[in-house]
Amino acid sequence: MRREVFKWLGTYLFIVGICISLITSCSKEDNTPIVTFHYSTDIFEISYQSEGTIPAPTMDWPVEKGIFALKNAINGLVIDSNTGAITIEKSLPVGEHEVVVYAIDNKDTWITNFILDYTLKNAFLKGGQNNNPDSMFDILIDRNLSLYNDGTLTIEIDGEEDSKGVGVWSLEGNNFKMQLCTYCADINPLDIPLYDEHAYYEGTLRYAEDDGASIWGQWYVIRFDPDSTNLRGDFVFVWNRN
CATH of the domain at 235: 2.40.128
Q: What is the CATH number of the domain that holds 68?
A: 2.60.40.10
Encoded amino acid at 99, one letter: V
Burial class (CB within 10 angstroms; exposed 0-12, middle 13-18, buried 19+) of 183: middle
- Answer whether 0.95 is exceeded by the pTM: no
The larger pLDDT score, comparing residue 211 to residue 71, is at 71
Q: Are residues 59 and 84 in the same domain?
A: yes
pLDDT tens per residue, range 181-193: 999 999 999 888 7
State CA 105 to chain mean position distance.
Answer: 30
Encoded amino acid at 113, one letter: N
- Tell me: pLDDT of 179 over 80: yes
pLDDT-derived band of residue 136, with 50, 70 and 90 as boundaries? Answer: low
Which DSSP symbol is given to 137? Answer: S
Q: How confident is the model at residue 25, as a pLDDT?
A: 45
- Tell me: pLDDT of 209 over 90: no
> What are the phi and psi torsion angles at 110 (to 5°)?
-120, 160
Distance CA 155, CA 148 (A): 11
Element (H, E) at 224: strand 212-224
pLDDT tens per residue, range 70-122: 999 999 999 999 999 999 999 999 999 999 999 999 989 999 999 999 999 88
In a domain, 28, yes or no: no
Element (H, E) at 10: helix 2-29
| End residue of a domain, out of 119, 146, 161 | 119
pLDDT tens per residue, range 2-19: 445 444 444 544 444 544
In a domain, 13, yes or no: no
Longest dimension (CA), the chain: 111
Distance CA 31, CA 73 (A): 29
Residue 171 sits at the vertex; the CA angle it makes with 168 and 175, to the nearest 5 degrees, is 120
Q: How confident is the model at residue 224, as a pLDDT?
A: 85
pLDDT tens per residue, range 13-69: 444 454 445 444 444 445 667 889 999 999 999 999 989 999 999 999 998 999 999
Burial class (CB within 10 angstroms; exposed 0-12, middle 13-18, buried 19+) of 174: middle
The larger pLDDT score, comparing residue 121 to residue 154, is at 154
**Cβ 127 vs Cβ 236: under 8 Å:** yes
Q: How confident is the model at residue 242, as a pLDDT?
A: 59
Q: Are residues 190 and 228 in the same domain?
A: yes
Q: How confident is the model at residue 15, as a pLDDT?
A: 47
Q: How confident is the model at residue 240, as a pLDDT?
A: 78
Q: How many domains does the chain have?
A: 2
Distance CA 4, CA 154 (A): 92
| Full domain range(s) for residue 104 | 37-119
- Positive or negative, the CA dihedral 43, 44, 46, 48 is negative
